[in-house]
Chain A
Amino acid sequence: MEKQFNEFSIKLEESGNLREKIRAVSMEMESAIRIMQSGLLMVHQSRPMPEVLEKAKFQIDVLKKLYGVLADILKDFPGQYYRYHGDWKSSTQTVVSLVAFLHWLETGDLLMHSEAEEKLGLGSYSEFGLDIEDYLIGICLMSNDLPRYVVNQVTAGDYDCPRKVLKFLTDLHAAFRMLNLRNDLLRKKFDGMKYDLRRVEEVFYDVKIRGLMTIGDSTEDPGREAKVGAMVIFFLSLFPEDVLHGGGAHQQAKKLGVFEVALIFNSWSNHQ
């Protein structure tokens, strides 16, 4: 009996040492993450973007190296990736959120799992990869940053930003709804995403209703404009007083589902 337990002690001590090594790397990762995070916060102050992005990108390389160190440590312990996974899991989720946010700022697209693996150099090891759940949680974390970004961009005068973000976030939310989730952290994070979506919708509404949006991509359905114009004239003939003095006309239009007309009436009454 004693012999067996001695062996266990030795074995467990070994894995304890291994865990300590991993934790040391994970600490380094956290400090790299903090630098990257604080660098990226500059986008909320609308500093010149390229400079901000370059700085943050530099940390990606640091993280890439650290993941390399981790993969190297675990190379000799096949199959045990998930035994120690907990020690760098939450860091990885944050890393994904930052890298994905950066990618979105640059391209306007969602950073996919394979792209994230590639960016962090995680695609090249046999076992050591990017866990899909970590990736998805990271994406949810990124979505948490978007409302703040939108608010600050609008304040800085970029009125087209809410439309872009809203479109992106709506697509993302729709994509997430395809997943069958369990009652776990991912589910909780995904449930939080709808609040981000709502906040961005509110900002978008605020900007749109005040007619602040820039003249966007101008290849509009030509018939559309004429139709809206006709509807406005139609409403004018029905409720001339209401339309001009901010009465119920815009409610009527809203009820009928012609939102563009309702928006026009509303902006008129705001101007009067």
Chain B
Amino acid sequence: MASKPHRVHHIAETSPSNSAKKAKKITTTTMKEGFEKYTQYLNEMNDKRERLVKASRDITINSKKVIFQVHRINKHNKDEVLEKAEKDLANVTNQYIARLLKELQGTDFWKLRRAYSPGVQEYIEAATLCKFCTTGTLLTLVEINTNLLPLSDPSHEPFQINVLDYLLGVADLTGELMRLAIGRISDGELEYAEKICQFVRDIYRELTLVVPHMDDNFEMKKKMETMLQSVVKIENACFSVHVRGSEYMPLLGSSEPNFSFLGVTDFEL
């Protein structure tokens, strides 16, 4: 029992003292101030990322619409359909791409690339598809970026789509071209289909040389596999028509196309 008062004393004194409390207050305020800054930074960054993701989704949805519009072409309505597609595309550029480039200044362009890249890729897909259908050539990155220049605020470094997103978009383009080629064959436009086939082959060949140099090429490697499948599908369709088509010559160009000779079931459209 003799130790009792001592123990009381001992434990009581290990509680934080007044002076310690004061010291603690000083350190926590600086810590608090620091973390307030970090909170603000993280909030702003997250909001921006969120806005970019939304803009990217809007670009994707509306670019998809342009692509679907292009697929509506047939022998007779080509000009009319493409005109509408181009108009829709210009709308995507002015309305949605413009939203992207307002956000992406300085280092944000690369920091937040993952947030907006899918939309940009889809946009490139739509733009290059339109261009191919009207002129039969590949829309270059320089052309796309020149087109975007007027949207940028002249006081800032202009927003330019980078090579990586362009290449990823072009890789997706071949999938759409495959659908287009099959559609054209069904419609009896064999020459058009063969032109597409040649075009897609060229793209594939050129890309095989570029892909190994790409930054993070895992995504691109997957796309290359898909692309090869698309090329093969178009080639097979052209082959079918070439080999068997002559027997059905009268059918080609008739208003009610007959798909059976294509072995269309082989293709997943």
Contacts and interface: CB of A to CB of B under 8 A. Distances in A.
| Top 8 closest pairs, chain A to chain B, by CB | A12-B213, A82-B111, A82-B110, A5-B206, A217-B17, A225-B12, A83-B110, A175-B35
Interface string B1-16: 0001101111111111
B32 interface: yes
A19 B11 contact: no
Interface string A217-248: 11111001100110010000000000000000
B246 interface: no
Interface stretch (A34-42, A49-57, A107-115, A150-158): A107-115
Interface residues of B, number: 55
Interface string B142-166: 1000000000000001000001000
Contacts of A83: 110, 215
A111 to B, nearest CB: 10
Contacts of A118: none
A194 B167 CA distance: 44
A220 B4 contact: no
B15 A176 contact: no
Contacts of B141: 4, 8
B11 A228 contact: yes
Nearest to B20: A217
Contact of B11 (A172, A182, A211, A221): A211
B242 interface: no
A167 interface: yes
A218 B13 contact: yes
Interface string A229-271: 1001000000000000000000000000000100110011000
A263 B14 CA distance: 12
Q: Which one of B11, B37, B46, B142 has the greatest number of beta carbons of chain A within 10 Å?
A: B11
Contacts of B255: none
Contacts of A203: none
Q: Which one of A12, A19, A176, A215 has the greatest number of beta carbons of chain B within 10 Å?
A: A12
A72 to B, nearest CB: 17
A108 B26 CA distance: 12
B109 A79 contact: yes
Interface of B: 4-5, 7-20, 24, 27-28, 30-32, 34-39, 41-43, 46, 106-107, 109-111, 113, 137-138, 140-142, 157, 163, 167, 202-203, 206-207, 209-210, 213-215
B59 to A, nearest CB: 21
B110 A179 contact: no
A43 interface: no
B46 A182 contact: yes
Contacts of A135: 38
Contacts of A12: 163, 210, 213-215
A133 B42 CA distance: 8
B39 A179 contact: yes
